[in-house]
Structure 1
Amino acid sequence: MKKKILLTTATVVILLAAVLTAGSFYLVNFALVDANRHRDSNFNRAMTNYPELRPWIDSLKAEGALSDTFVVMPTGERAHALYARSTKAHGATAVLVHGYTDNATSMLMIARIYNRYMNYNILLPDLHGHGQSYGKDIQMGWKDRLDVMHWIDIAPGIFRTPADSMRLVVHGISMGAATTMCVSGEQTPKYVKCFVEDCGYTSVWDEFAHELKGRFSLPEFPLLYTASWVVQMKYGWSFSEASPLKQVAKCNKPMLFIHGDNDTYVPTTMVYPLYEAKSQPKQLWIAPGSKHALSYRDHKSEYIRKVTEFVSKWNGAENWKLRGES
C-alpha cells in the first residue's frame, strides 16, 4: 500500500513538474521569442500614425541627412541604427530607444522633437532582436542597456564630434524607457547629461506578473519563478535582476519621468516608486487620460514643451523654440 502511495505521489509530482516546465518554456517563448516584431525600417507606419512627420522626413531625405549604420557590438552581434546629423547641433545629440516589438522608426515622432525643434543630432538604434539588429530573443531592456551604452560610446564618432564637445540625452518609451533607466544606473560618459523615460516599468518581474494575472489569470508563483530560471539558463539574465527601479536609484543625473494616467499595460502606479527612488534632479509629468505610450499622441504641444524645457535646462541646449505646431 505504501509503495502504491509513493508511486502515485511520484507520478503526480513528475506530471506537475512536466506541466510547469512546459508552461515555463511556453511563457518564455510567448514573451521573448515568438512575439511578432516590426522588422523593417519602412517609415510609412510612422507617418500614417503621425502625419506631421512626412515633411520633416522628406526634408531630411532631400538633404541626405538621414542614414543607416550597422555596427558590431562587443558581443560580436550585428546591430542597426538610423541617424541624422544636424549642422546646428554643436554636439547636442539624442539617443532614442524604442519599445517592445517595435523598431527605430517607432521613435521618429520623438526624433522630430529633438532634430526639428532643438537642432539635435539623432540616433535611433534597433535593440537586439528588433528591426534590422541581430537576435531572436527580446532582452526587456536589461542586456539592452549594454548595447545602448555602446551606441553612446561610439556616438562621437558617428557624428564626428569630439567627446568633450558632445552633450547627450537618452530618451526611451515603454521597454525603451526601461532600457533608459537601466542605462542610467551604470557609469556613463561625462557627456551624457540627462534622461527621459516615458512609461517604463519598475522591473521585468513586476511587468510579467502584471501580464500573467491580466492575460492568463495566473499568480506569479510558481510559473514566474520557473520561467525566470529558464531565461537565466538560456539567456544569462533573470526577471528579478532586470530592475529599472534598482538602476534608477543609482542614477545621479537628471531624469524626466512621463506616464499616462490611463495606462493599464504598464500601470501608472509603477511610475511613483520609480520617481521616489530617483534622487534629485528629477521631474514627473502625468499625462491626463493617456493610455500606454500615447502621451505624445494625446498631448503633442505639452509633450514637446515638457521635453524641450527639461532637456534644455540640463543639456545646455540653446536656440530651440516651439513653432506653434501640434
Structure 2
Amino acid sequence: MKEVEGAGRGRPKLGDMPLAPSFAVMLRTEDNVRIDAAHTPPREPGDLGIVLAHGFTGSLRERPTRRITHVLSGFGGVVSFDFRGHGRSGGESTVGDLEILDLDAAVRHARAIGYARVAVVGFSMGGAVAVRHAGWRGPGPGGRPRGGEVDAVVSVSAPARWYYRGTRPMRQVHWAIERPLGRWAARVGKGTRIRKGVWDPVPLAPHEAAACISPTPLLVVHGDVDAFFPLDHAHQIHDAAGKPKELWIEPGYGHAESAATPELVRRIGRWVVANS
C-alpha cells in the first residue's frame, strides 16, 4: 500500500522538497501490539537501513517526520513507525518504557526486508528509547539472540533521566501524563493515548543504558536552546557511554524534529553511513 507522496508547502526548516514515496507496513511487537509503520526505500541502492523513532505525541505522518525521512532516504532506506498509543498504532503510550518493544519490532523488520546494516535515529522520547534499545542485550522471542541489536545509534534531544520537571514544557508534559484531564487533552488534541498509572518497575534510565551500548557507535545530538531538556542531559548520556561515541552541541537548535534543519539531518545521515 503506497503512502501519500508529492510536494507541499512545509515548514521552512526543511523546505519544500518533494517527499520520497513510502509504503505502509503493519508490525507486531513481542507483547502483541499492532504498530503502524512505513518503509521508504533508499534513493540509491544500498544495504543500510535507518529506523526513525519519533518523539512523544509525534507520528510518522507528521510533516517534520516525513521531511526527515525524505532527507535520510538519501543515505539509506528508512523504516519509520508510530509508537504504541500514537497515530494508527494500537495500545497506549508508556512514555518510554514498553516502547522499546515497538522499536525492536521496527529494527527486526528492517533486518527482515534485507538491510545488512541497521542504525536507529531517535528524537526526544524516541532518542531515549533508542539508547535503551541499543543497550538491550536480553534474548529475543523463543530464546533466539535478539534481532534488535543495531550497528549505530543516534539520540537527538533526548532526556538522560526520568521524571525531569526542571522546565515549563516538561511540567506540562507531566501534567498530560499524570492527570486525567491531561490524558484526555493529549488524546483529543494530539491523538496520543497514554496509559494511566505508574511504572512498576521503573525502566533503566537512558544514561544508565548508555553504559551498555559500547562497542556500538553512539552519537548524541542536543541543541543549546532546547526548551525541554538542558544540555546536562546530553552530557550525562555521552559521559556514561563507552567508546566509540560523539557529542554534538548544536548552536541555535531547539528541540527534536520540529527544529531540525536539513543540514543537521544530512550531517546525521553522513555520520550514520560512516559509523554503521
In 1, Cα distance between the equivalents of 2:158 and 2:151? 20
Q: Is the 8 A contact 1:94 1:169 kept in 2?
A: yes
CA pair 269-167 structure 1, distance change in 2 beyond 3 A:
same
Counterpart selection for 1:91 from 25, 28, 47 = 47
The 1-side partners of 2:45 and 2:102 are apart by 24
Please report how far the alpha carbon of residue 267 of structure 1 lies from its aligned counterpart in structure 2 after TM superposition: 1.9
1:144 equivalent among 99, 102, 108: 99
Q: Does 1:81 align with 2:37?
A: yes
Q: Deviations over 1:25-51 (max 9, x none)?
A: xxxxxxxxxxxxxxxx9889x952258
SS of the residue 1:155 aligns to: helix
1:172 aligns with 2:136: no
CA distance in 1, matches of 2:13, 2:163: 36
Letter in 1 for 2:270: E
One-letter amino acid matched to 1:296: A
AA aligned to 1:49 is R
Q: 72-81 vs 124-133, which deviates more?
A: 72-81
In 1, distance between residues paired with 2:108 and 2:153?
16
Q: Contact 1:140–1:204 (CA<8 Å) still a contact in 2?
A: no
Which structure 2 residue ranges, 5 or more long, are not aligned? 138-145, 179-193
**Equivalent position amino acid for 1:171 in 2:** V
Once the two structures are superposed, the pairs formed by residues 227-306 of structure 1 within 5 Å of their partners are: 234=197, 237-238=200-201, 240-252=202-214, 253-293=216-256, 296-297=260-261, 300-301=262-263, 303-306=264-267
CA distance 1:288–1:53, change in 2 (3 Å): closer
Which position in structure 2 is the counterpart of 1:310? 271
Deviations 1:124-175 (A, max 9, x none): 010000011012x322222111221122112233x3x1xxx61111001111
Task: Measure, in 2, the Cα distance between the counterparts of 1:283 and 1:91.
Answer: 24
Match for residue 70 of structure 1 among 22, 26, 33:
26
**Which stretches of structure 1, 4 residues or more, deviate above 6 A after TM superposition?**
41-44
Q: What is the root-mean-square deviation in Å for CA atoms of aligned residues? A: 3.3
2:100 is aligned with what amino acid? R
Deviation sequence 1:88-143 (CA, Å, 0-9, x none): 33321000000010101342232222212x2x1110010000011012x3222221
Which string of whole-angstrom CA distances, capped at 9 and with x for unpartnered residues, describes residues 185-242 of structure 1? 1136497210111010012223xx33589748x9xxxx9xxxxxxx99947545x434
* Change beyond 3 A, Cα 1:284–1:205: same
**Corresponding residue for residue 188 of structure 2:** none
Aligned to 1:35: none
Larger radius of gyration: 1
User: What's 1:109 paired with?
Assistant: 67
Q: Does 1:153 align with 2:108?
A: yes
Higher-helix-fraction structure: 1
CA distance in 2, matches of 1:191, 1:72: 18
Give TM-score scaled by structure 1 length.
0.65
Query: Which digits, 9 at most, give the CA deviation of each residue in 1:250-280, with x for residues without a partner?
Result: 1111011110101121222211111100111
Secondary structure of the equivalent of 1:68? strand
C-alpha separation between the residues in 1 aligned to 2:41 and 2:159?
31
Question: TM-score, normalised on structure 2?
Answer: 0.76
> Aligned pair count?
244
Report the identity percentage: 21
Residue pair 1:96, 1:170 contacting (<8 A) in 2 also: yes
